[in-house]
Amino acid sequence: MRAAGRQWPIQTRILVTLVFLTAAILLAVALTFHLFVRGYVYGRVSAQLDSMVQSARGPETRKGPAGKGRKFPGGQDRVTGVRGNVVVLGRDGELRELLNGDPETGEALSAYFMSGHVLDETVSRQPVTLDSGKYIVSVVCDPVQPEAYLVCYADVTSIQAFTGEVNLALCGIILAAIALSVILSRSVARSLAEPAQSLSAFAGEIGRGEFRPRQFSFRDAEFQSLADSMNRMAEELRKANQKQETFFQNVSHELRTPLTSIRGNAEGIVYGIMDPRTSGQIILSEADRLGGFVEELLYLSRLGKATPEGAAVPTDLREVLSLCVSEQRAEADRRGIQFSFDFDPDPVLLAIRERDARQLFGNLLSNAIRYAASSVRLSCHRDADGVTVKVRDDGPGVSPEDMPHIFERFYRGADGKHGIGLSIVKSVSDAYHGSVTVESGGGAEFRVRFPADGFVSFA
């Protein structure tokens, strides 16, 4: 199901994210640096002007007749290199006296205030732009000359030029960093997108039923691990598909044989060429055989469900084994098979569904009766680690050729029935975290082992 909303290629997402992040970080750094430098420098200049204004009110500004020849402590700031200067302007802005500083700047300031700009003590630390540059200006009344003002100013043109060059350099750094982030993000995005595209194509092949493993060599461990997992999945799917095909072939064969017999005998009865009683017995026998086969298939399918019917409850395995013996006593008597028992005197309890236990031990017992020469021995014991059940017959044992395959579905050895019984034994034992093994020598012995706390409850 496709997710809602617009979808972006991974290369575009990485590119946009890295470029945006790089630009945002560098812009923040540049803005912070600009504000810090500007604030610091202009703070120093403003403090210098404040000091000059305080000096303007001191006794030094009153020396000399009518203030003539007086000295004004301007001075140069040792950090910024900016020098403070003072001129005396009348109330209308005309230049009356140049205490220190450049005469051209004094004339320019006079022209500035004469052009209509406010000239009084409200002018404090204000920027003034002249043809010769930019200045910071503070105004205070002249204590010596009435109707005049002392105009303290500092030239910040060089500082403004410096900050402009710094800003330009920072812009260049930002652009270079963005270009580098574009190159790196494209490289990183390509290294992520190409493995993802290859694995996506591989997944598409698996979805189409092509389970052939592919060789991948990725630099990223995560992608390589995913590729290995997908190859294992493809191999498992190939095996499962092969088993499924074999399953359907075997099922169709097993169903065809009794159905053919039933149809042949039924047609013989219809056309009067066969004895109805004999044919009816054959039909009933084949129907029982067919019903048992279908029931075993249904049981296997139910066993694979996540929540099968019934709850696992403590069950005495001795009773289950005795019940299985009673159910198959007639077949054993017909073959002349004798039973012997080796059970614990105390109950051997295991949390298991009774039906699963009967299927497990019933199939083991049926298999033993089919191959036994004269006797079958059953043992059931519990120890500190778990429960062990053994079923041993005195038959020919299991041939080396059959040994690796006896628990596979539909695999039948000599005198086998459907090839499902022992696969049910294996499935039930696995469902309860148990194990089943077989030994051959002087007969066959099947050994089922359940851990003390390893069973699985499906309730």
Helix axes 221-270, 157-207, angle to 10 degrees: 20
Domains defined for the chain, CATH in brackets: 11-163 (3.30.450), 221-303 (1.10.287.130), 313-451 (3.30.565.10)
pLDDT category at 458 given cuts 50, 70, 90 is very low
What number is the average pLDDT over the span 361-377? 90
* 375, 333 Cβ separation under 8 angstroms: no
238 vs 1, higher pLDDT: 238
Indicate the range of 129-138, 177-186, 236-245, 252-261 predicted with least confidence.
252-261
* Predicted confidence (pLDDT) per residue in 161-199, tens digit: 877 888 888 888 888 888 887 788 777 777 777 888 888
pLDDT of residue 293 exceeding 70:
no
The per-residue b/e assignment along 353-369, b for 16 or more CB within 10 angstroms, e otherwise, is beebbbbbbbbbbbbbb
Please classify residue 113 by burial: count the beta carbons closer than 10 Å to its beta carbon, then call 0-12 exposed, 13-18 middle and 19+ buried: buried
* CA 56 vs CA 41, 118, 147, 172: distances in Å: 23, 20, 15, 45
Other Cβ atoms less than 10 A from the Cβ of 108: the count is 17
**How many angstroms separate the CA atoms of 166 and 168, rounded?**
5
282 vs 138, higher pLDDT: 138
pLDDT of residue 210 exceeding 90:
no
Give percent of the chain with pLDDT exceeding 90.
11
Which pLDDT belongs to residue 250?
Answer: 59
Q: Give ∠ CA 418-391-349 in degrees, rounded to 5.
A: 110
The per-residue b/e assignment along 238-260, b for 16 or more CB within 10 angstroms, e otherwise, is beeeeeeeeeeebbeebeeebee
* Predicted confidence (pLDDT) per residue in 7-33, tens digit: 667 667 777 777 788 788 878 887 887
**Which of 37-41, 53-57, 260-264 is most confident?**
260-264
pLDDT category at 375 given cuts 50, 70, 90 is very high
SS (H, E, C) the chain: CCCCCCCCCHHHHHHHHHHHHHHHHHHHHHHHHHHHHHHHHHHHHHHHHHHHHHHHCCHHHHCCHHHCCCCCCCCECCCCCCEEEEEEEECCCCEEEEEECCHHHHHHHHHHHHCCCCCCCCCCCEEEEECCEEEEEEEEECCCCCCEEEEEEEECHHHHHHHHHHHHHHHHHHHHHHHHHHHHHHHHHHHHHHHHHHHHHHHHHHHCCCCCCCCCCCCCHHHHHHHHHHHHHHHHHHHHHHHHHHHHHHHHHHHHHHHHHHHHHHHHHHCCCCCHHHHHHHHHHHHHHHHHHHHHHHHHHHHCCCCCCCCCEEEEHHHHHHHHHHHCHHHHHHHCCEEEEEECCCCCEEEECHHHHHHHHHHHHHHHHHHCCCEEEEEEEECCCEEEEEEEECCCCCCCCCHHHCCCCCCCCCCCCCCCHHHHHHHHHHHCCCEEEEEECCCEEEEEEEECCCCCCCC
Q: Which residues contact 356 (CB under 8 A, 6 or more apart)?
A: 303, 428, 431, 432
Helix axes 421-431, 354-371, angle to 10 degrees: 140
Which pLDDT belongs to residue 52?
Answer: 76
pLDDT of residue 301 exceeding 70:
no
**Which of 70-74, 374-378, 402-406 is most confident?**
374-378
pLDDT category at 448 given cuts 50, 70, 90 is very high
User: pTM score, two decimals?
Assistant: 0.45
What number is the average pLDDT over the span 334-346? 92
**Which of 71-75, 247-251, 288-292 is most confident?**
288-292
* Predicted confidence (pLDDT) per residue in 99-126, tens digit: 777 888 888 888 998 888 888 888 888 8
Which pLDDT belongs to residue 459?
Answer: 35
What number is the average pLDDT over the span 303-312? 55
pLDDT of residue 306 exceeding 60:
no
**How many angstroms separate the CA atoms of 206 and 202, rounded?**
6
